């Protein structure tokens, strides 16, 4: 399996957090060096680094940077936590480094743990892929989004290396094209056959019987299993349900937020409308909520969790 090296995606290097700038991919592979927590927060806000687990790791590195510079740590925590509101991993990772005696060591350890979580959840999720499957995915949930081998895309990569996968359809993921730019780039590097589609084209693809399973990631999973993910995920889940295609969410336990009872309480990031239209009035919600009842299974590093999620998720996280 060919995946990006974790250090290539993001790393703490001396007095800098170095990120592979995802805004420039796939055309240019350039690194961005952040020298303060505020610069890391800017990089998160502007999507130089993105994807829930990767955001968490970047924030942890940003906090560690502030600690090593002797900066005000409450301020660093606040600026990083406020960078993006939806991904549960951001606040979770910050709480982890805040509680650590050595924030830099804990941040690096957290990154290594996320790499392990990706590996384990990919193996669990690949078991859900039948031989010869044609999968559909949305947004980017690969190495770039996680600092490891990925969540949903990690699972598809694992299924490919086991000879189970035939093809991956990739929703382009309007408005910022994480699917068309980043997922297609990762699939190309891994040598996995893929086709990019307009998001709106996936309905007729499902109706035509061309998709055997849908795999997506998550930015926050509420206690009842309702899941926030990139805008366009909810319509895909409705369509998958309509056409009796299994719909799987793959995410680490660091994305599960048992303190959020349901999707109704998940804050949804509203981004700059100019990302949608620079000329006409626009709205730009970055995420939507997929109700738990539309999710066939949620896969974490601990295994495959089925409904009722209030029981299966809390049991898994407690264990
Ligand atoms: O706005 P983004 O690109 O950060 O949104 C990312 C997603 O929605 C991913 O699907 C999610 O973070 C899971 S990544 C493993």
User: How does pLDDT run along the chain (319 residues), one tens digit per residue?
Assistant: 567 899 999 999 999 999 999 999 999 999 999 999 999 999 999 999 999 999 999 999 999 999 999 999 999 999 999 999 999 999 999 999 999 999 999 999 999 999 999 999 999 999 999 999 999 999 999 999 999 999 999 999 999 999 999 999 999 999 999 999 999 999 999 999 999 999 999 999 999 999 999 999 999 999 999 999 999 999 999 999 999 999 999 999 999 999 999 999 999 999 999 999 999 999 999 999 999 999 999 999 999 999 999 999 998 888 7
Range of the domain at 278: 118-318
- Closest C-alpha to 227, from 178, 180, 289, 298: 289
Give the separation between CA 111 and CA 109, rounded to whole angstroms. 5
Structural tokens at position 202? 């996936």
Cα 91 to middle of ligand 1, angstroms: 15
User: What CA–CA distance (Å, rounded) separates 215 from 152?
Assistant: 5
CA dist., res. 220 & res. 229, Å (int) = 7
Q: Which two tokens stand for residue 6?
A: 């974790």
Instruction: Give the active site residue among 42, 102, 212, 219.
Output: 219
- Show which of 115, 143, 164 is a domain's final residue: 115
Predicted TM-score of the model (pTM): 0.97
**Ligand 1 neighbour 179 (Cβ under 6 A):** no
Q: Ligand 1, atom 8: nearest CA belongs to which residue?
A: 230
> Does any ligand 1 atom lie closer than 6 A to the CB of residue 9?
no
Rounded to 10 deg, the angle between the 152-161 and 103-126 helix axes is 50
Q: Is residue 82 part of a domain?
A: yes
User: Based on the domain organization, do 49 and 133 belong to the same domain?
Assistant: no
Among 158, 189, 190, 230, CA closest to 29: 189
Concerning whether 219 is annotated as a catalytic residue, the answer is yes
Is residue 26 included in any domain, yes or no?
A: yes
Residues 143 and 101 in one domain: no
Give the residue from 59, 83, 115 where a domain finishes: 115
- Claim to verify: residue 163 and residue 76 sit in the same structural domain: no
Is the CB–ligand 1 distance for residue 217 below 6 Å?
yes
Same domain, 104 and 151: no
Q: Is residue 215 part of a domain?
A: yes
Say how many domains are in the chain.
2
1 in any annotated domain: no
């Amino acid at each position: 399996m060919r995946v990006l090296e974790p250090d290539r995606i993001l790393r703490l290097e001396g007095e800098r957090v170095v990120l592979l700038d995802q805004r420039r991919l796939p055309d240019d592979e350039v690194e961005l060096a952040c020298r303060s927590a505020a610069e890391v927060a800017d990089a998160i806000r502007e999507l130089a680094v993105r994807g829930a687990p990767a955001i968490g790791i970047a924030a942890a590195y940003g906090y560690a940077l502030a600690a090593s510079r002797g900066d005000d740590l409450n301020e660093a925590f606040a600026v990083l936590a406020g960078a993006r509101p939806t991904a549960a991993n951001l606040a979770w990772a910050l709480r982890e480094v805040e509680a650590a005696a050595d924030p830099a060591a804990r941040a690096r350890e957290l990154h290594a743990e996320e790499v392990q979580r990706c590996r384990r959840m990919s193996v669990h999720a690949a078991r859900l892929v039948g031989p010869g499957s044609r999968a559909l995915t949305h947004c980017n949930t690969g190495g770039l989004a996680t600092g490891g081998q990925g969540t949903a895309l990690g699972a598809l990569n694992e299924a490919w290396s086991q000879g189970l996968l035939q093809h991956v359809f990739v929703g382009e993921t309007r408005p910022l094209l994480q699917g068309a730019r980043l997922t297609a780039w990762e699939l190309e590097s891994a040598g996995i056959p893929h086709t990019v589609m307009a998001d709106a084209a996936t309905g007729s693809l499902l109706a035509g019987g061309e998709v055997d399973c849908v795999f997506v990631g998550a930015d926050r999973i509420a206690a009842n299993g309702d899941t926030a993910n990139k805008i366009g995920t909810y319509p895909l889940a409705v369509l998958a349900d309509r056409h009796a295609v299994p719909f799987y969410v793959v995410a680490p336990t660091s994305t599960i937020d048992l303190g959020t009872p349901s999707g109704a309480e998940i804050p949804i990031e509203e981004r700059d409308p100019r990302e949608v239209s620079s000329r006409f009035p626009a709205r730009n919600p970055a995420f939507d909520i997929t109700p738990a009842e539309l999710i066939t299974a949620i896969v974490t590093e601990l295994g495959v969790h089925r409904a009722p999620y209030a029981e299966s998720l809390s049991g898994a996280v407690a264990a």
